[in-house]
Amino acid sequence: MEHAPRILAVGRALPPHFADQEALIAAFAEHWQKHHFNLERLAALHRATQVGGRHLALPVAEYARLTGFAERNAAFQRVGAEVGEEAVRNGLSRAGLKPGDVDHLFFVTVTGVSTPSLDARLMNRLGFGPRVKRTPIFGLGCVAGAAGLARASDALRAYPGQVAVLLSVELCSLTLQAEDASVANIIATGLFGDGAAAAVLTGGAHPRRSGPRILATRSVFYPETEWVMGWEVIDSGFKVVLSAEVPRVVEEHIGGDVDAFLAEQGLTRDRIRHWIAHTGGPRVLEAFRTALDLPREAIARSFRSLQEIGNLSSASVLFVLGDLLDAAEAREGDLGILAAMGPGFSSELLLLAW
């Protein structure tokens, strides 16, 4: 698999507005006390996410003035273009490439909509060539960072001399349903943050050959589980669907899925040195760790990312991957599994080799 696609770099961008979790708890408490919600319960649910703080698309005070979906989505388009551009420029700079070198642009999001899609809006801002093949993907949610890498690698297997960029933009804070005092929404408001990530990949015949190779990928769909996670689209925008069963579904499935995937490649878990797991939340990460019988340090990078910036939906697993690449810990011959799960319910697995 010497000529497999490679991940050269991962660029990242975070909005400039940062709020620590205690400040956000206070802001939500001020709002939700009029709904007679148990404020001690609110604080406990937020602190249980183990998120220390999050970057937000807007200053905290501006969220109270967002009255409908149109205003939220307009903010998504404006801020999304800003952080998306920054992430792509950062990724290309790290890879030693220019916008004119890019042949494929994959774009994933689940937190805003536009036509033309955000990737089209970035074509002029970034100076991409007019023949770039664009593939916008909406609705995969948290799994889309891994799925987007897999789809980009598929394209580069067909065009091994070319370059692909996967851009994820998730501004989760803009989906806030301020009148929804359900436990699912309370947890979501304590867990999800905002950010963008851009992975730069090359085909196996491209002259730039640094970074891990994507040896194989696997998609797994779990029938009749659409109730586990997603959006209910209402007049005010996206209302979160987040079942308490998510950790159980992860723990029941991910171990067998990973083992079957590795067996196809003639491998077992003990050969994997690097585990790049989506930061779904502390209970989801614990379910992932337990199902695969991993020590906590095996996914310490994911726990740290969750604590520092929260769950960024599809961008999260790309942030964790970028942190691993920056650390330069991987050595030639190392193998890694990149994994994410999301609405469907489904999982995406990638086998990486350095």
Asked if residue 50 is part of any domain, the answer here is yes
Looking at the fold, whether 171 and 259 belong to one and the same domain comes out as no
What tens digit of pLDDT does each residue of 287-333 get? Answer: 999 999 999 999 999 999 999 999 999 999 999 999 999 999 999 99
Of 202, 226, 242, which residue sits at a domain end?
Answer: 202
Least confident of 28-37, 80-89, 189-198: 28-37
Looking at the fold, whether 301 and 193 belong to one and the same domain comes out as no
**Domains of the chain: total:** 2
Asked if residue 208 is part of any domain, the answer here is no
Of 202, 225, 246, which residue sits at a domain end?
Answer: 202
Whether 314 and 148 have beta carbons less than 8 Å apart is answered as yes
Looking at the fold, whether 90 and 193 belong to one and the same domain comes out as yes
Asked if residue 79 is part of any domain, the answer here is yes
Asked if residue 1 is part of any domain, the answer here is no
Q: Which residues are catalytic?
A: 142
pTM as predicted = 0.95
Strand partners, 23: none
pLDDT band at 2 (very low <50, low <70, confident <90, very high): low
Start-to-end CA span in the chain (Å): 11
- Interatomic CA distance for residues 326 and 334, integer angstroms: 16
Domain with 153 in it: what CATH number?
Answer: 3.40.47.10
Asked if residue 347 is part of any domain, the answer here is yes
Of 153, 179, 202, which residue sits at a domain end?
Answer: 202
- Interatomic CA distance for residues 277 and 288, integer angstroms: 8
Asked if residue 192 is part of any domain, the answer here is yes
Range of the domain at 186: 6-202
Q: What are the tokens at 230?
A: 């997603």
Asked if residue 66 is part of any domain, the answer here is yes
